[in-house]
Amino acid sequence: MSNKMWGGRFASGPDAIMEAINASIDFDKRLHAQDIAGSKAHAAMLADQGILSKEDAAAIAHGLDTIASEIEAGSFTFSAALEDIHMNVEARLAELIGSAAGRLHTGRSRNDQVATDFRLYVRDALDDLDSALNALQTALATQARDHFDAVMPGFTHLQAAQPVTFGHHLLAYVEMLSRDRGRIMDARRRLNESPLGAAALAGTSFPIDRDKTARTLGFDRPMANSLDAVSDRDFVLETLSALSIMAVHLSRFAEEIVVWSSAQFAFVSLSDAWTTGSSIMPQKRNPDAAELVRAKTGRIFGALIGLLTVMKGLPLAYSKDMQEDKEPFFDALDAARLVVAAVAGMAGDLKPNRERMAAAAGAGYSTATDLADWLVRELGLPFREAHHVTGRIVGLASDTGRDLNALSLEEMQAIEPRITEAVFSVLGVENSVKSRTSYGGTAPDNVKAQAEAWLGRLAE
């Protein structure tokens, strides 16, 4: 059978493999709601402009509503012979309302149609992600407020460096996620222009009103260049790069959950709801969800690199290569939604082991910087000299297998005679974090205020 849409030029139908490589309906049916909304806006505009009769426009609108409910109800039959969502909808419209269906495609092409559908779809996806990220930030900020003063080791090189609080550590992710949301909203703002009416590539000779369809569909304005409108997918690339950076953040946190929940660290535990057992080792409680959050990052990066590669050599305007924009995007979006939800779930579920974290915070001479700062502040030593004196004191403690606060005053005075009893006040981890009162520092009062400020902002 020759094709319904271009049968005039074609005597016979495609080879089966041609159909298999060409059809996109299996994945672009996800655009059905946007496709129908775009068609309704286009038909209404055509009628307002006198390009389509009021009767035909009404029949088209009614038919499109029927199709929308058939798809919602699962009773719509999608056909690969009809290639994509656009032609599936139009063919069904013809079955429902007859020849008036053929007037819908006036002053429009599948090229501006698919670009419109996809922009609408990505816009909705970005809005959903933004609120999912708000929920995740809220879960993290809530834990941060509850544990604003729980001392844990802060790490550099994964070596205990200086004590911080658990709340401070969690709020670092709240900050990262807020920049992710900024990138998401930025992408949304830039993508919100309408390609509809660019037609195949050059615009149309019909007196269409592109401002009107743009407004109806919630776009800020029509895109100003018809070639650009049908041929760029930077809005997908921008979204995927924002998702990739977000995925990096979530993967780093997931990695920390994996490390922290190990028996060696035992800083946090996850409940039955967020762990799995082992079929052979009864003692195991595995952080599979965190590991999969870490791993799904690969799909998201993959979609970005894949689409960058698809686009890089394409001459203007549309080429069928661009149909390969959707599948990886949908896959990356599904992964992104899942990882955001999973990390929100784990963030709420995490139980910190405060004693264990505090003990670890004190190990490894993590208050050595506090000792050096004390020497500067109280004895007026230049920092470099204080660093040197502290190094000798740490060396003594380490050689004799003791913590800093287990050394005697006399032992320290043998290295620096002016040290007094008061030095012991800065050698404990609690005092160490309390002293970090500089803006953005880990002092518990700072952390509490930041967590509360975030919770207030996130609830707005």
User: Residues 278, 319, 398, 425: which is the catalytic one?
Assistant: 278
112 touches ligand ARG (CB under 6 A): no
- Could you tell me which residues come within 8 angstroms of residue 7 by beta carbon, excluding any fewer than 6 positions away? none
204 touches ligand ARG (CB under 6 A): no
Q: Please list the alpha-helical segments (H only) found in 152-311.
A: 166-191, 210-216, 226-231, 234-260, 288-311
Of 46, 52, 64, 114, the one binding ligand ARG by CB under 6 A = 114
261 touches ligand ARG (CB under 6 A): no
The counts of H helices and E strands in the chain are: 18, 6
| Residues listed for the chain | 460
Of 173, 260, 274, 318, the one binding ligand ARG by CB under 6 A = 318
Neighbours of 14 (CB within 10 A): 17
Q: How far apart are CA 237 and CA 174, in angstroms?
A: 24
Residue 143's Cβ-side half-sphere holds a number of Cα atoms within 13 Å equal to 28
Of 322, 368, 412, 419, the one binding ligand ARG by CB under 6 A = 322
State both tokens at 351. 């139980």
**Is the CB of 80 or the CB of 338 nearer to ligand ARG?**
80
366 touches ligand ARG (CB under 6 A): no
Residue 42: CB minimum distance to ligand ARG, A: 15
**32 part of the active site:** no
Distances in whole angstroms, Cα of residue 376 to Cα of each of 85, 422, 423 = 71, 14, 12
Of 39, 111, 194, 446, the one binding ligand ARG by CB under 6 A = 111
Residue 213: CB minimum distance to ligand ARG, A: 18
121 touches ligand ARG (CB under 6 A): no
> In the 8-state DSSP scheme, what is residue 76?
-
Q: How far apart are CA 125 and CA 331, in angstroms?
A: 12
Residue 237: CB minimum distance to ligand ARG, A: 16
310 touches ligand ARG (CB under 6 A): no
Place of tokens 């953005």: 440
User: Residues 75, 157, 205, 279: which is the catalytic one?
Assistant: 157
Q: How far apart are CA 262 and CA 80, in angstroms?
A: 50
**Is the CB of 4 or the CB of 351 nearer to ligand ARG?**
4
Segment interacting with ligand ARG, rule: CB under 6 A, options 133-141, 148-156, 179-187, 317-325: 317-325
Residue-wise DSSP of 145-163: HHTTT-EEEEEETTEEEEE
The interface mask with ligand ARG, positions 25-54, x = CB under 6 A, is ---x--------------------------
Of 84, 149, 238, 416, the one binding ligand ARG by CB under 6 A = 84
24 touches ligand ARG (CB under 6 A): yes
Q: How far apart are CA 361 and CA 444, in angstroms?
A: 15
Neighbours of 397 (CB within 10 A): 19
Binding-residue total with ligand ARG (CB under 6 A): 10
**178 part of the active site:** no
Segment interacting with ligand ARG, rule: CB under 6 A, options 56-64, 109-117, 133-141, 361-369: 109-117
Angle at 214 between CA 202 and CA 312, to 5 degrees: 50
Of 190, 320, 351, 457, the one binding ligand ARG by CB under 6 A = 320
Q: How far apart are CA 106 and CA 153, in angstroms?
A: 66
323 touches ligand ARG (CB under 6 A): yes
Q: Which residues are tagged catalytic?
A: 157, 278
Binding residues for ligand ARG (CB under 6 A): 24, 28, 84, 110-111, 114, 318, 320, 322-323
